[in-house]
Amino acid sequence: MAQEIRAEMVANVWKVVVTEGDTVADGDTLVILESMKMEIPVVTEVSGTVSALHVAEGDVVQEGDVIAVIG
Amino acid sequence: MFESVLVANRGEIARRIQRTVQRMGLRSVTVYSEADAELPFVTEADDAVLLGPAPPAQSYRNIDAVLEAARRSSVDAVHPGYGFLAEDPTFARRVVEAGLVWIGPPADAIEQMGDKIRARNLVAAAGVPVSRGTESPVADVAAALVAGREIGFPVMVKASAGGGGMGMAVAADEPALEAEYERVRAFAQRTFGDPAVLLERFFPRVRHVEVQVLGLPDGRVVALGERDCSVQRRNQKLVEETPSPAVGAQLRAQMFRAAVDAAAAVGYRGAGTVECLLDTQSGQFVFLEMNTRLQVEHPITEMVTGLDLVEQQLLVAAGEAVSFDPDRVIPHGHAIEMRVNAEDPRRFFPGPGAIAVWEEPSGPGIRVDAGYRAGNVVTPHYDSLMAKLVVHGADRAEALERARGALAGFRVEGPRCNLPFFTELLDHAEFVSGDYDTGLVARMRG
């Protein structure tokens, strides 16, 4: 089942660690956000394939935005 | 003594430094970015100079702009606060070259302590205990295994370019080290563009204890007390207390000696902090790093010693005698600091915003160092620290009780705020017992 990974705060996308098609495991970092001088890794809590990646480095995400879909 | 000071910083620390500067009868000039024009540190300054747009590279980290502001406002001295340019030896040198007094340690001392591996080797040579670890990146898995056996398990596998807890993994044995070495290396390459991996000894239950030192104009270095900073999230401090519940008289004397030796090894002057890790099982401590500046959590040392550390910094920078007898510093009672951040109390994610309500507690033993007031906006450009709530009591129990009362009187609405975390912490059995370590917050959040 596809799982959407969403941003939990307004932030800049500092690093994108995965690419579409990558296989990821529970606990892997997908992207790293930056806000208020803090780098916050966004990790997946499910294992699977990155079926969609909606952000690029330098993007600004709002709270609730979908960052990636793990299918 | 000089007559005017430029504070090259922002928020709570700029305001706190300014208060001492003005109390001493000196003129306080501040610099600020476009994002900070309404904040108290700007409106309360005797003079304020706009540096530029909000991004730090164009404002608070812009050496040319800061020096131009100092020239235009004809100040005599520069205080860097913490963060931004405080530990940049180039800035320290440029301040002195501009004919101004630098309120900080010599640039060479900043430089020597700024290179973490060099600093470790340097203080080890001065007889200060250091942790075992590789001194340069590990070339391959085979080299990692050799280093792991030498250091002793468990080991921490760490991306050299990492930080904030990212690119770190613990390996309990050799098979785990083989796996984690490859994992961390791949992560570091992908994330930081640098695959370099270091290994160091991992202590499962450790406290972060640091010693406040002050290098006097005559070259003597004195220790003014320790601070326990073991309440951390993402390797960043949330709460600090002094004295440390884990440090007895004998250990304290050893730590003070080590801190003084470490500072003296680089010819230290002014206020600085020697950070150590204390292994709760063995009672052994090792040098972590030296912060060559005023520390965020310096107020708890001020609460128990009665000293104004910023005043001592100014006196030392001016080459004058400090305001106290360095041989007779007797701490009284117990002090606790809580960092009031614009972040949620569950997962500690930052959330800037406009401050609709800001009500500070007051009363005996309560001090609030705040960077904001009602109507201000906490912007995403800088760190999330809004204020420091500091309490003092005759003993730890009274300090905890005062902290509970102070928290009940602190109201912040608008940005996300971590105040409810402290309420929870102050009733948490492990914290209340004093027998906690740097894993406490992670355990509270399961």
Query: B327: domain CATH number?
Result: 3.30.470.20
Q: How far is CA B189 from CA A13, B126, B182, B183, in A?
A: 18, 36, 11, 10
pLDDT tops 90 at residue B281: no
Best mutation target among B33, B183, B191 (most A Cβ atoms within 10 Å) is B191
Give yes or no: residues B78 and B157 share one domain.
no
Helix/strand/coil for B52: strand
- Residue B72 maps to a domain: yes
User: With a CB-CB cutoff of 8 Å, which residues 222-251 of chain B face chain A?
Assistant: 234, 236
Q: What is the mean pLDDT of residues B365-384?
A: 97
- A10 and chain B in contact, CB less than 8 A: yes
Give yes or no: residues B231 and B182 share one domain.
no
Torsion angle (degrees, nearest 10) of CA B159, B161, B167, B170:
40
- B163 and chain A in contact, CB less than 8 A: yes
Tally of structural domains, chain B: 3
Of A8, A10, A17, the CB nearest to B380: A10
Q: Which of B103, B128, B163 is the last residue of a domain?
A: B103
Alpha-carbon distance of A31 to A44, in angstroms, equals 10
CATH number of domain containing B146:
3.30.1490.20
pLDDT digit string (tens) for A33-42? 999 988 899 9
B342 contacts on A by Cβ (under 8 Å):
36
Outline where B126-226 has alpha helix (H). Answer: 141-151, 174-192
- Residue B114 maps to a domain: no
Alpha-carbon distance of B156 to B131, in angstroms, equals 12
pLDDT tops 80 at residue B443: yes
- B350 and chain A in contact, CB less than 8 A: yes
Give yes or no: residues B157 and B304 share one domain.
no
Q: What is the mean pLDDT of residues B318-340?
A: 97
Quick check: A38 and B351 CB within 8 A? no
Give yes or no: residues B225 and B343 share one domain.
yes
- Structural domains of chain A, with CATH: 3-70 (2.40.50.100)
Give yes or no: residues B331 and B295 share one domain.
yes
B72 is catalytic: no
Say if residues B164 and B235 touch (Cβ distance below 8 Å): yes
- A60 and chain B in contact, CB less than 8 A: no
- Residue B109 maps to a domain: no
Say if residues B339 and B417 touch (Cβ distance below 8 Å): no
Say if residues B199 and B133 touch (Cβ distance below 8 Å): yes
Give yes or no: residues B413 and B287 share one domain.
yes
pLDDT digit string (tens) for B298-308? 999 999 999 99
B164 contacts on A by Cβ (under 8 Å):
38-39
Cis peptide before B154 (omega within 30 of 0): yes
Q: What is the mean pLDDT of residues B431-436?
A: 98
Give residue B336's pLDDT: 98
- B187 and chain A in contact, CB less than 8 A: yes
pLDDT digit string (tens) for B218-232? 999 999 999 999 999
Q: What is the mean pLDDT of residues B146-173?
A: 89
Give yes or no: residues B42 and B157 share one domain.
no
Say if residues B20 and B310 touch (Cβ distance below 8 Å): yes
- Residue B302 maps to a domain: yes
Give yes or no: residues B225 and B168 share one domain.
no
ipTM field: 0.83
Give yes or no: residues B146 and B68 share one domain.
no
Task: Please provide residue B190's backbone torsions phi and psi, each rounded to the nearest 5 degrees.
Answer: -70, -40
pLDDT digit string (tens) for A51-60? 999 999 999 9
Give yes or no: residues B239 and B317 share one domain.
yes
- B372 and chain A in contact, CB less than 8 A: no
Residue B62: which domain range? Answer: 4-103
Q: How far is CA B315 from CA B10, B21, B310, B348, B391, in A?
A: 22, 11, 9, 39, 26
Best mutation target among A37, A50, A65 (most B Cβ atoms within 10 Å) is A37
Give yes or no: residues B76 and B153 share one domain.
no
Alpha-carbon distance of A37 to A35, in angstroms, equals 5
- Residue B304 maps to a domain: yes
Of A8, A32, A36, the CB nearest to B352: A36
**Inter-chain Cβ pairs, chain A and chain B, closer than 8 A:** 47
Give residue B164's pLDDT: 65
CATH number of domain containing B47:
3.40.50.20
Q: What is the mean pLDDT of residues B266-287?
A: 95
Of A10, A17, A36, the CB nearest to B384: A36
Strand partners, B166: B163
pLDDT digit string (tens) for A6-18? 999 989 999 999 9
Give residue B204's pLDDT: 86
pTM to 2 decimals? Answer: 0.94
Say if residues B205 and B177 touch (Cβ distance below 8 Å): no
- Catalytic position from the list B120, B207, B233, B293: B293
Give yes or no: residues B387 and B275 share one domain.
yes
- B166 and chain A in contact, CB less than 8 A: yes
